Structures are given as structure tokens and as C-alpha cells.
Amino acid sequence: MAFNYAAAYQNNKVQTATKGELTLMLYDAGIKFVNKAILAIEKKDIQSANNNIKKAEDVIVEFRSTLDHKYAVAHDFDVVYDHMYRRLVEANIKKDKAILEAVLVDFKEMRDIWSQVMKQARIQGNK
């Protein structure tokens, strides 16, 4: 049996990541799944599109489940995540590439915002 170095590396990466890095990884996963769903729709591979959209939905569910509602900003994030989730469901029902492309923009924007927050936190931590 061959050792899967890629899986071991990925597992170690997740196990040693900070909460902020895990959040980035989750955004990256959402982006990856939406991209795969778009490609599957282009190839008329309905099953693969469905599977990848459901994985993207799971990413949103994870984000929503970790929101700390004692902070007002959690409500704002929940509204965005709810919108993204509903759009993913609609895209899955219709197998609509345009809807997925819009959700992809949302995922990328959220990831970029989070990346900037992490950079700012590092800068503040180094002062």
C-alpha cells in the first residue's frame, strides 16, 4: 500500500492551522466546489454538479454554525451566508451556471475580506 503524501500533508496542514487559517481554507474549499460545479454543468455532468453544489452548501452551513451571535456583525454575516446558501440551492435546482458564478464572486469577496482581516491582525500584533 502506497503512502499518500498529499493526504498526509493536507491533514497536517489542517491540524496545525490557526482558526483564521482554517477559515481561509474553508473559503478556498467553497470556491473549489463552486468552480467544480460550474465545470460539471458545462460538461452536462448533473451528478457531479449536484455533489459539488451540496459540498459548497455544506461550507456555508459550517460558516453559519460557527457564528458567535453575541457580536452584532454575526447577524450581517448570517444574512450574507443565508443569501449564498439560497442561491446555491436555486443553482442546484436549475443547474444554472450564472447563479454559481455570482456565488463564486461572493465566496471570493468573503475570502479576500477575511484575508485582509488576518493581515491587519498580524500588523496589529507586531506593534
Question: How does residue 17 score in pLDDT terms, banded at 50, 70 and 90?
Answer: confident
- Is the pLDDT at 8 greater than 60, yes or no? no
Alpha-carbon distance 2 to 49, whole Å?
30
Domains of the chain with CATH codes = 18-122 (1.20.120.340)
Question: At residue 24, does pLDDT exceed 80?
Answer: yes
**Per-residue confidence (pLDDT) for residue 122, from 0 to 100:** 82
pLDDT the model gives residue 121: 85
Mean pLDDT of 104-119: 95
With cut-offs at 50, 70 and 90, classify the pLDDT of residue 103.
very high
Q: What percent of the chain has pLDDT over 90?
A: 76
Tell me the whole-structure pTM to 2 decimals: 0.85
Digit-coded pLDDT (tens) for 39-50: 999 999 999 999
Q: Tell me the pLDDT tens digit for each residue of 42-72.
A: 999 999 999 999 999 999 999 999 999 999 9
Q: How confident is the model at residue 96 (pLDDT cuts 50, 70, 90)?
A: very high
